[in-house]
Amino acid sequence: MQNLSSYNKINLIFAIIILLIFAYSYVFTPEKNNYPIHSACKIKPCKSTGLSRAFSKIVRFKFVEAKKFNKNSVLVFSFFFIQFFLRIFIIIILQKKLFKDKFVLIFDVLFSLILFVITFNNLIL
């Protein structure tokens, strides 16, 4: 880990955070309703209502049930899923010096921004 650049360290931290989101989604279930982090949307439902429950279904490959909790859940989950593998991919590319760091950074920012807009479109508009 000593040879990791600052950018790779950030990518590693993001990958770990996303992995923790997946683990959280797997450990806690809608059936038990045992989520330690409660929704801020309990008083007034918002567009993100049901995402934790939906993610719990998605990590179990129950996509139809997930969409019942939140119609945007599969798209939002796909953002995190793609980002997880993108972070790992970027770490490998930078370690092997396959592309210039600046090119990788610009690609990462543009790709992530476009992916965010596409996958979160229904939640942010």
Q: Which amino acid is at 25?
A: S
Q: What is the pLDDT of residues 52-74, one digit of tens each?
A: 999 999 999 999 999 999 999 99
Distances (CA, A) of 52 to 66, 89, 117: 9, 26, 20
pTM: 0.87
User: Coil, helix or strand for 5?
Assistant: coil
Could you state, in order of their start, the residue ranges of all structural domains in the chain? Answer: 6-124
CB 27 within 8 A of CB 59: no
Distances (CA, A) of 32 to 16, 20, 53, 100: 26, 19, 10, 48
93 pLDDT higher than 80: yes
